[in-house]
């Protein structure tokens, strides 16, 4: 009986830890008309080979959500980190790094056009 109770506690603890933060879901679940009903999270998952999301509080006490995307191109691993600042029920671009090098908003927009193109081409093939 004790073993069953311990197992139940472990399972419940693990289940609780697996829930995503509402701020992360705000961005991942965002729908954009340019994505043909796909969410932003789904579009990033289609574009990148691997994605992970992390919420953190900045030095300015604001909440930030970072997307880390790994993309392999021509035997090269590229790590992209996009940071969004969350304010209530909205978010905006805050910063971006590619392989540890800071990039500006124009670079972000170029990447997002690639993400949108990949999302739309994947959708049209189905």
How many folded domains does the chain comprise? 1
Strand pairing class (76-87; 101-103)? unpaired
Q: Do the domain assignments include residue 119?
A: yes
Q: Do the domain assignments include residue 81?
A: yes
Q: pLDDT tens across 44-95, in order?
A: 999 999 999 999 998 888 999 999 999 998 889 999 999 999 999 999 999 9
Q: Do the domain assignments include residue 1?
A: no
Helix, strand, coil share (%) of the chain residues, nearest 5:
45, 35, 20
Q: Please state, in angstroms and rounded to a whole number, the distance separating the CA atoms of residues 50 and 117.
A: 18
Q: Model pTM?
A: 0.79
Domain containing 73 equals 21-125
């Amino acid at each position: 009986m004790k073993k069953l109770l311990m197992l139940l506690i472990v399972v419940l603890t693990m289940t609780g830890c697996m829930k995503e933060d509402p701020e992360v879901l705000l961005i991942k679940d965002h729908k954009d008309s340019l994505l043909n009903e796909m969410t932003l999270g789904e579009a990033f998952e289609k574009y990148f080979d691997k994605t992970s999301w992390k919420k953190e509080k900045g030095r300015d006490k604001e909440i930030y959500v970072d997307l880390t995307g790994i993309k392999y191109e021509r035997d090269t691993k590229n790590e992209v980190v996009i940071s969004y600042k969350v304010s209530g029920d909205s978010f905006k671009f805050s910063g971006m790094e590619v392989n540890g090098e800071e990039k500006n908003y124009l670079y972000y927009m170029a990447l997002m056009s690639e993400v949108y193109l990949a999302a739309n081409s994947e959708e049209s093939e189905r």
